[in-house]
């Protein structure tokens, strides 16, 4: 994927805080059948020095549209790229894939964080399970 689509800006705050981003229009192709896969990608992070610019993450996520990728691989790839770009204190990426052929997949990848302050990191519970 083209990481250059991802833009960051300096974290405007000194205290720890949680940012949640929901990207409900993720699409890619099944690498076996070529059928489309649909998902909501949920990103939660506690920034250190950088925050992600929202339009850029939308364009980045949309760039997967014609790629043949497994659910597990793409969720881990998105996590890796965001982790490299942001270097956050905490990062969680969840690929909540739509049901297809009686199969529902939710893939969660996260980097743990032991906060110095009290930042509530809620568990994610997919709507369709």
Positions marked active-site: 30, 37
Q: Which tokens hold the place of 80?
A: 């890796």
Query: What is the DSSP code (8-state) at residue 84?
Result: H
Intra-chain end-to-end CA distance of the chain, in Å: 29
Q: Which tokens hold the place of 5?
A: 């689509």
Query: What is the DSSP code (8-state) at residue 68?
Result: B
Taken in order 8, 9, 10, 12, the sign of the CA dihedral is negative
Half-sphere exposure of 56 (CA within 13 A, CB side): 14
């Amino acid at each position: 994927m083209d990481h250059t689509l991802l833009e960051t800006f300096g974290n405007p705050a000194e205290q720890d805080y949680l940012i949640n981003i929901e990207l409900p229009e993720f699409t890619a192709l099944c690498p076996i059948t070529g059928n489309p896969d649909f998902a909501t990608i949920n990103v939660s992070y506690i920034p250190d020095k950088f925050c992600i610019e929202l339009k850029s993450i939308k364009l980045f996520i949309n760039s997967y549209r014609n790629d043949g990728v497994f659910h597990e691989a793409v969720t881990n790839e998105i996590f890796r790229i965001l982790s490299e770009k942001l270097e956050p204190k905490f990062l969680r990426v969840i690929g909540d894939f739509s049901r297809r052929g009686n199969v529902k997949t939710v893939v969660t990848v996260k980097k743990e964080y032991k906060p110095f302050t009290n930042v509530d990191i809620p568990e994610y519970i997919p709507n369709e399970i």
